[in-house]
């Protein structure tokens, strides 16, 4: 590992050298005299701002603190989920790091929800909605409080992209910190390393009488041993890796256990890095370029990451004013192999990858092979190539990351499909272990719950294509994840015998022959709304096609007879979300009609 002190010998100078000794505050259109305090000086300086200063003495400010850069620490702490239960301690470390580096930190909270707890219920409809609430709340506090920069600490699926959307929107000196991965669960006398997906798959196994009541109970009680995000290459670890590949977190932030000295140090150094970004003039949109997003896509593919990365990277790019489309995933994916043997489709957990060096040796391999852009900037001020220069390769004995010439799959497992069932695109997660083509008869369900019942009671049989519709961003609303059905399919032993398609989405823990993000969604009259039981459906990963084998004349007839359903919610946050959200093919963003 390189000397961490180098992180603060920042090389990014051009912006700082070309800027005058004053700047225009873009929100207030005022000149500020201190470039290290472009926002807080407006809030605090001068006799007329005495009331603002008075409000902060009770929370620990001194007179000298008002002369320092104001650094926010956006904490996603909550006892709602083990993913975030430790983040209050991490926030305190980040606060100390900012204060020691010459700033004045303020900790504030945003919400978090738990996909693992709400999965398979109506509550899961709030999951993707929470990404927007988190982004909006961070923007609101940072903007209102005049923070000059901030650290955002996220530990679960939606508060990670939510934090990054806020970082991209605000474009103030900022660094993202991943809360870290959970350690594996274990049962006495059992060699398996358990995680949350083990529980979901045990539900199907128990329903199929493959495990006893006692075995089922043991998995339930032992799978989640403490703090941290889900342990496989599911959405949390996928997005942490993607954010590091974007250059927006410190080296190794994505590959540290939640409870570890390394994670505490990561928080302290991240805050100090924000201060240095203020000194050099480096800002998130200097880092978040098209090349940076291509790097993130490359790393996600090599790791066999979650389909949710497509949705979230599109949304972050939108906030950063970078033109990214689902077709970029196809373009990049044609040349990038899947190298990581990680859960859910593989054998290993993130904690095992951490033990052999995390993702940085993989990134160095990709860089050396010409698959990563080395000239992009990172929050340290170094280029990606400079940041990776001293990284050592994985130990020779390891089996988690394959060599480039021995991939698990020679190209991307994230396959963008088009066809008459997905005119605007769909996202499949196909590692090759499930096969590359599937044709079967449709079994249609207008909600996840109805499909789940059919899977568990034996209605679903070999050769079926399960269709779960009216679960899209607008139709759900909220685009629920289908971890419960996909895990039940695996638990029932049908993983290679049935397929599942949906206008909803999948958890990073889902695996099997699955296709999500089908657009246009059923709620707006997409072809998925016209499928009938028994229709033939073909999924072809090689041709990148998803087709309903029904004549065009028949589809036209069905479309004329189709009636749009009434909204499921007419008030509250779900109704508000449904009225603003765009297609999944655009990242399901809620501000697309605004001129950015």
The residue-averaged pLDDT of 45-61 equals: 97
Q: How many CB atoms lie within 10 A of CB 560?
A: 7
Whether residue 88 is predicted with pLDDT greater than 70 in this model: the reply is: yes
Mean of the per-residue pLDDT values of the chain? 92
Give the model confidence (pLDDT) of 32-49 as tens digits. 668 899 999 999 999 999
d(CA 225, CA 186): 8
> Cα 584 vs. chain centroid, distance in angstroms?
14
Of the residues 507, 510, 583, 585, only one is catalytic, namely: 507
pLDDT digits (tens, 9 = 90+) for 539-551: 999 999 999 999 9
Read off the pLDDT band of 124 (50, 70, 90). Answer: very high
Distance CA 579, CA 488 (A): 32
Instruction: Give the dihedral sign, CA 259/234/511/397.
Output: negative
Cα distances from 455 to residues 118, 123, 205, 489, 530, in angstroms, run: 19, 21, 12, 7, 22
How long is the chain? 596
Distance CA 107, CA 109 (A): 7
507 is catalytic: yes
Q: Give residue for tokens 């929470």.
A: 130
pLDDT in tens, 255-264: 999 999 999 9
pLDDT for the residue numbered 398: 97
DSSP secondary structure of 117-178: HHTTSGGGGGHHHHHHHHHHHHHHHHHHTT-SEEEEEE-STTHHHHHHHHHHHH-SEEEEEE
Q: What are φ and ψ of residue 514, in 5° steps?
A: -130, 140
Please state, in angstroms and rounded to a whole number, the distance separating the CA atoms of residues 506 and 340: 20
Q: Which two tokens stand for residue 44?
A: 């605090």
Kindly report the pTM of this predicted structure: 0.93
Number of H helices and E strands in the chain, helices first, is 22, 14
Task: Round to whole Å and give the CA distance between 367 and 128.
Answer: 33
């Amino acid at each position: 590992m390189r000397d961490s002190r180098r992180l603060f010998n920042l090389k990014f100078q051009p912006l700082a050298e070309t800027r005058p000794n004053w700047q225009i505050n873009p929100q207030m259109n005022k000149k500020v005299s201190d470039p290290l305090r472009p926002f807080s000086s407006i809030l605090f300086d001068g006799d007329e701002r005495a009331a603002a200063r008075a409000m902060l003495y009770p929370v620990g400010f001194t007179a000298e603190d008002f002369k320092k850069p104001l650094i926010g620490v956006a904490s996603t702490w909550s006892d709602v989920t083990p993913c975030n239960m430790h983040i209050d301690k991490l926030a305190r470390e980040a606060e100390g790091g900012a204060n020691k580096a010459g700033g004045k930190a303020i900790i504030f909270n945003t919400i978090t929800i738990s996909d693992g707890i709400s999965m398979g219920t109506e509550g899961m409809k709030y999951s993707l909605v929470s990404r927007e609430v988190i982004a909006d709340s961070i923007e609101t506090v940072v903007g209102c409080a005049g923070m000059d920069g901030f650290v955002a600490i996220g530990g679960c699926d939606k508060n990670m992209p939510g934090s990054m959307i806020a970082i991209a929107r605000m474009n103030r000196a900022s660094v993202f910190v991943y809360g870290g991965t959970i350690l594996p669960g274990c049962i006495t006398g059992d060699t398996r390393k358990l995680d949350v997906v083990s529980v979901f798959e045990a539900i199907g196994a128990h329903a199929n009488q493959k495990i006893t009541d006692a075995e089922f109970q043991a998995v339930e009680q032992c799978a989640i041993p403490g703090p941290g995000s889900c342990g496989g290459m599911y959405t949390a670890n996928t997005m942490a890796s993607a954010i590091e590949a974007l250059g927006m977190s410190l080296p190794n932030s994505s590959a540290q256990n939640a409870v570890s000295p390394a994670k505490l140090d990561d928080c302290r150094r991240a805050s100090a890095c924000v201060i240095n970004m203020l000194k050099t003039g480096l800002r998130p949109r200097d880092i978040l370029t098209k090349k940076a997003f291509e790097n993130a896509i490359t790393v996600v593919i090599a790791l066999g990451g979650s389909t949710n990365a497509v949705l979230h990277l599109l949304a972050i790019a939108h906030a950063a004013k970078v033109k990214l489309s689902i077709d970029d995933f196809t373009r990049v994916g044609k040349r990038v192999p899947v190298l990581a043997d990680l859960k859910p489709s593989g054998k290993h957990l993130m904690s095992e990858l951490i033990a052999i060096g995390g993702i940085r040796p993989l990134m160095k391999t990709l860089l050396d092979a010409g698959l990563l852009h080395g000239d992009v900037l990172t929050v340290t001020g170094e280029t990606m190539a400079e940041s990776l220069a001293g990284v050592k390769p994985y130990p020779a004995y390891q089996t988690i990351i394959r060599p480039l010439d021995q991939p698990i799959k020679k190209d991307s497992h994230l396959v963008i499909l088009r066809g008459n069932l997905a005119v605007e695109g769909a996202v499949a997660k196909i590692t090759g272990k499930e096969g590359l083509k599937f044709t079967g008869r449709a079994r249609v369900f207008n909600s996840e719950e109805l499909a789940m019942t059919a899977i568990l009671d034996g209605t679903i049989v070999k050769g079926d294509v399960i269709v779960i519709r009216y679960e899209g961003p607008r139709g759900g609303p909220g685009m629920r994840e289908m971890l419960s059905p996909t895990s039940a399919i695996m638990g029932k032993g049908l993983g290679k015998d049935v397929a599942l398609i949906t206008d909803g989405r999948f958890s990073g823990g889902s695996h099997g022959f699955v296709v999500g993000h089908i657009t246009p969604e059923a709620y707006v009259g997409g072809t998925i709304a016209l499928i009938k039981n028994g229709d033939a459906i073909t999924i072809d990963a090689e041709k990148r096609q998803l087709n309903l084998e029904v004549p065009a004349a028949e589809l036209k007839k069905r479309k004329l007879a189709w009636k749009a359903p009434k909204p499921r919610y007419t008030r509250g946050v779900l109704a508000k979300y449904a009225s603003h959200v765009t297609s999944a093919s655009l990242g399901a963003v809620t501000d697309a009609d605004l001129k950015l």
